[in-house]
Amino acid sequence: MVNSSTEDYIKSIYRLEREDETVLTTSLAKHLGIGAGSVTDMIKKLSEKQLLHYEPYQGVKLTEDGKRLALKMVRRHRLWEMFLVTFLNYTWDEVHDEAERLEHVTSDELENRLDKALGFPKVDPHGDPIPTAEGELNEISFTSLSDCNINTEGIIVRVSDDSPEVLQLLTKLGLGLNTKLLITQKVKYDGSVIIKMKNREIPLSPVMARSIFIQVSE
């Protein structure tokens, strides 16, 4: 049995591992907004439960059991996000905190029923892949607008959900999943870009450009 605190730690480590192979206690503490001392104490407990490998000053790494738990929590979180948008009319900028609470009180049976009710979705409202019940994650190929060249054309397949404000602005601009766009200009000075969508040019700040990911057209 694991509690919600354990689940949050494991999921956070999983996310940080995907960004950087080495997860230091300092980066984990910053991510969770918790003091480094408390994080170190919890990491030692999780190590004793064999959910992660820990060596002082060397960082932490999830074990196979830890990774399975992380993927289960990610699956439940993203299924709940889809449910809230599909059935309860939440917008994509409103679902994260609700799903964060619901994922911790979801049984295997409820998880399976959610999946079936939604028609077994492959991605969440932001385009992030939903792990399968077996713990498999089918990665999606995409490139951020900030990494694309001028005249690159593609379809939005993922949007970062780190900032509700960014998601709200994207909605106002009419930019969502499956939107087709063309990059017409890039500003080297600050990384901003100008895109063309349905004969309309839209300037995007560096933060916005880094938050939008497209599948480049062949």
Statement to judge: residues 49 and 83 lie in one domain: no
Distance separating alpha carbons of residues 32 and 53, to the nearest angstrom: 19
Q: Which of 12-26, 109-123, 146-160 shows the lowest per-residue confidence on average (mean pLDDT)?
A: 12-26
Region 56-66: mean pLDDT is: 90
What's the CATH code of the domain at 166?
Answer: 2.30.30.90
Q: Look at residue 158 in the predicted model and tell me its pLDDT.
A: 96
Domain boundary among 121, 140, 159: 140
Region 171-179: mean pLDDT is: 95
8 found inside a domain: yes
What residues contact residue 5 under an 8 Å CB cut-off, 6+ apart? 42
20 found inside a domain: yes
Q: Look at residue 58 in the predicted model and tell me its pLDDT.
A: 83
Domain boundary among 41, 62, 83: 62
Q: Look at residue 80 in the predicted model and tell me its pLDDT.
A: 98
Q: Look at residue 139 in the predicted model and tell me its pLDDT.
A: 83
Task: Specify the amino acid at residue 40.
Answer: T
What's the CATH code of the domain at 27?
Answer: 1.10.10.10
Residues of the chain with pLDDT > 90, as a percent, come to: 78
Indicate the number of domains in the chain: 3
Statement to judge: residues 148 and 211 lie in one domain: yes
Q: Look at residue 60 in the predicted model and tell me its pLDDT.
A: 92
Residue for token pair 């993922």: 158
Contact 206, 147 (CB under 8 A): no
Statement to judge: residues 134 and 175 lie in one domain: no
pLDDT band at 25 (very low <50, low <70, confident <90, very high): confident
In what side-by-side order are the strands of the sheet with 200-204? 143-144, 212-216, 153-159, 180-186, 193-197, 200-204
The residue range of the domain holding 170 is 143-216
Q: Look at residue 1 in the predicted model and tell me its pLDDT.
A: 63
Residues of the chain with pLDDT > 70, as a percent, come to: 99
Statement to judge: residues 211 and 151 lie in one domain: yes
What residues contact residue 66 under an 8 Å CB cut-off, 6+ apart? 10, 13, 14, 46, 50, 51, 52
Statement to judge: residues 125 and 177 lie in one domain: no
Q: Look at residue 140 in the predicted model and tell me its pLDDT.
A: 83
Q: Tell me which of 188 and 143 has the higher pLDDT.
A: 143
pLDDT band at 191 (very low <50, low <70, confident <90, very high): confident
199 found inside a domain: yes
DSSP string, the chain: ---HHHHHHHHHHHHHHHH-S-B-HHHHHHHHT--HHHHHHHHHHHHHTTSEEEETTTEEEE-HHHHHHHHHHHHHHHHHHHHHHHHH---TTTHHHHHHHHGGG--HHHHHHHHHHTT--SB-TTSPBPPPTTS-------EEGGGPPTT-EEEEEEE--S-HHHHHHHHHHT--TT-EEEEEEE-TTT--EEEEETTEEEEE-HHHHHHEEEEE--
Indicate whether 82 pLDDT > 80: yes
Q: Look at residue 37 in the predicted model and tell me its pLDDT.
A: 86
pLDDT band at 56 (very low <50, low <70, confident <90, very high): confident
Domain boundary among 62, 81, 107: 62
67 found inside a domain: no
Global pTM reads 0.91
Statement to judge: residues 114 and 78 lie in one domain: yes
